[in-house]
Amino acid sequence: MPDAAPTQPVLSIRELRFRYRDRPHPAIEHINLDVQAGELLLVAGASGCGKTTLIRCINGLTPRSYKGELEGEIELLGQPTRGMPLARISQMVGTVLQDPERQILGSKVLNEVAFGMENLGLSRTEVRQRAMQALQELNIMHLKDRQTFSLSGGEKQKLALAGVLALRPKLLLLDEPLASLDPASAQETLAAVRRLADQGLAVIMVEHRVEDVLYIRPDRILYMQDGQARYLGDVEGLSRVVDLKDVKLPAELVLERAKKMEAPVSLDILPGGKLPHGEPPQSNLPLVRFEHVSFYYDPEAPVLKDVNLEIRRGDVIAVLGPNGAGKTTFVKHAIGLLKPREGRVLVEGRDTRQISVAQVASTLGYVFQSPSHMLFAATVAEELAFGPMNLGHAKAEIERDSREALRIVNLSGLEKDPPLALSFGQQKRVSIAAVLAMRSRILVMDEPTAGQDYRNYTEFMDAIVQLPNFEAILFITHDIDLALVYANRVLIVGDGRIAADAPPQVALSDFERLLQARLVPSSLLRLNVKYFPVSQRFQRAESLAHILH
């Protein structure tokens, strides 16, 4: 942030309180905040603490779109937003949503970036100039002629940001912009955001990946808890006030704090009581087998190239790789949603070309990357019952399994809520619970931790990997730490091929290979590599602290 004396704040908030119409208690209250031009403010806190509600109040979506009671004052450049037309607010405030699917309207990338400017009536020349500049700023110029539906989740995230940047707002609101980005893309996006702030743009970033954001030196951090601001200050002060289970901090800091804890840290266990990274049990028949599988949407641009591998009983597989590398396409072949152009995929010995997706679903349960692609029911309870009902499960079993699934993902009590009215993070957990309730033998999850705070995702991942009904688990992730803690096998996908297939301590210790796959070694990975001769296994920092104490 500039050293000059502060002038009129870009944003000023006084005693802000908001209660959703259908909720008995306020989502946020007693929020007081000023944000100056050129300031980068990180907003952190557990899921449901009010971060997204704060964003909606600032950009005017509450109470205009999200109905409820709003109290307090919000000013943009000294102008009260109460009664201000939403169109006027949107010219000053640009917002990138958690789920880019909800923000992208155009069929082509360049058209999508131009859409907002065209609605402002800018000249054709200026629209094109700003659009190209935004694409260049985010390093996605190569996507400008692509169809938006063909983009990966991470590419869509960067496209949504480009569309907002092209409007040149005074205040940029980012609601978990890193959720779908590979580590290298996340670093590039963060560097771009830091440059924008240094150039005078006020930025508020809501993000669970706190450690990543700390690398770009946010000017201040707002830590929220139970709808209120519990801390507002510099980075150094944050570590003294947060619970290590709520916010993921750099591993070295966690290690030092955890060493001082008296209670021992239990070892992480995987299905069947196996310790992570042990040899999976062998079986004559693999659960899933890829034989020389190739696939393309466009013959000139193959997505999968001669993939060969087996998924065996006892496998907990993390699939890593850059945005657009073919990770989701690979997984969709495993569950039969896509059929190979060449080669074949066998599920328990049966060719997916010869069986229906419904038949595959009795063996494999799939959690989509975007929860809006799979949620449709009127209530959470109906959502969880739909899959098991279609698989012929008994009513008593459905009720029991649904209760257990909601307990695992920490959503008990929301059975009657509409899934699509929940936050993005809660929707993601509903989609996971819906698959857990089906009691499939193989669980497949695409970005399971997107939109999740540290406590929630560690609790449900700890529970999932110990469920006895899963013979194998496979998850796509951009989170190297998730892979090193939970997987016993890591696949690195690059350019449509399997670049590595090995235990975490082998696949993740080759930093040069990671960087080639746009995977950035985290502080926890570096710590594990350093202490591996002592620990003999990769694990979370809290467990390492207990071993090294």
Interval 351-409: pLDDT, tens: 999 998 888 888 899 998 888 888 999 999 999 999 999 989 999 999 999 999 999 99
Q: Answer whether residue 40 is part of any domain.
A: yes
Mean pLDDT of all residues in 107-124: 93
- Mean pLDDT of the residues in the chain: 89
Do residue 427 and residue 474 come from a single domain? no
Q: 196 and 132 share a domain?
A: yes
Residue with more model confidence, 468 or 350: 350
Expressed as residue numbers, the domain containing 467 is 285-363+440-548
User: For residue 301, what are its two tokens?
Assistant: 């641009």
The C-alpha atoms of residue 493 and residue 94 are separated, in whole angstroms, by 34
> What would the pLDDT profile of 50-95 be if each residue is shown by its tens digit?
998 999 999 999 999 989 999 999 999 999 999 899 989 988 999 9
Q: Is residue 32 part of a domain?
A: yes
Query: What distance in Å separates the CA atoms of residue 96 and residue 424, rounded to the nearest whole number?
Result: 13
Within this chain, do residues 224 and 315 fall inside the same structural domain, yes or no?
no
| pLDDT for residue 318 is more than 80 | yes
End-of-domain residue from the set 242, 276, 308:
242
Which of 387, 403, 437 corresponds to the end of one domain? 437
Task: Indicate the burial class of 516 (C-beta count within 10 angstroms; 0-12, 13-18, 19 or more).
Answer: middle
Report percent pLDDT > 70 for the chain: 94
- The CATH number that applies at residue 472 is 3.40.50.300
Using the predicted structure, report yes or no on whether residue 37 has a pLDDT greater than 70. Answer: yes
Dihedrals phi, psi of 69, to nearest 5 degrees: -100, 120
Q: Is residue 368 part of a domain?
A: no
CB-side neighbour CA atoms (13 Å) of 102: 12
Q: Are residues 497 and 512 in the same domain?
A: yes
Say what percent of the chain tops pLDDT 90: 60
Average pLDDT in the 239-243 region? 82
What pTM, to 2 d.p., does this model score? Answer: 0.81
pLDDT tens for 137-164 read: 888 999 999 999 888 777 888 899 999 9
Neighbour order of strands in the sheet with 28-35 = 28-35, 11-20, 68-76, 79-80
Q: Are 68 and 195 in a shared domain? A: yes
Q: Which of 117 and 245 is assigned the larger pLDDT?
A: 117
Q: Are residues 296 and 418 in the same domain?
A: no
Q: How confident is the model at residue 332 (pLDDT cuts 50, 70, 90)?
A: very high
Residue at which a domain ends, from 242, 276, 304: 242
| Residue 123 in domain | yes
Pair 338, 222 in one domain: no
225 and 308, same domain (yes or no): no
pLDDT band for position 184 (cuts 50, 70, 90): confident
**CB-based contact 43:232 (threshold 8 Å):** no
* Closest to 61 in 3D by CA, of 167, 173, 157, 156: 173
The span from the CA of 499 to the CA of 427, in Å, is 33
Q: What is the pLDDT of residue 283?
A: 53
Q: What is the mean pLDDT of residues 111-128?
A: 93
Instruction: Identify each DSSP E strand in 127-259 by its residue range.
Output: 171-175, 202-206, 220-225, 228-233
> Which pLDDT tens digit goes with each residue over 265-282?
444 544 444 445 444 555
pLDDT number for residue 237: 86
Across the range 172-186, mean pLDDT stands at 85
User: Per-residue pLDDT tens for 404-456?
Assistant: 999 999 999 999 999 988 877 889 999 999 999 999 899 999 999 887 888 88
- Cα separation of 230 and 45, whole Å? 9
Please indicate, yes or no, whether residues 517 and 427 belong to a single structural domain of this protein: no
Q: What pLDDT shows up at residue 188?
A: 83
Same domain, 179 and 199: yes
Asked if residue 183 and residue 139 are part of one domain, the reply reads: yes
pLDDT at 263: 52
| Domain-embedded: residue 86 | yes
**Spatial distance between the Cα atoms of 441 and 464, rounded to a whole number of angstroms:** 12
Q: Give domain status of residue 253, yes or no.
A: no
- Are 446 and 356 part of one and the same domain? yes
The structural domain count of the chain equals 3
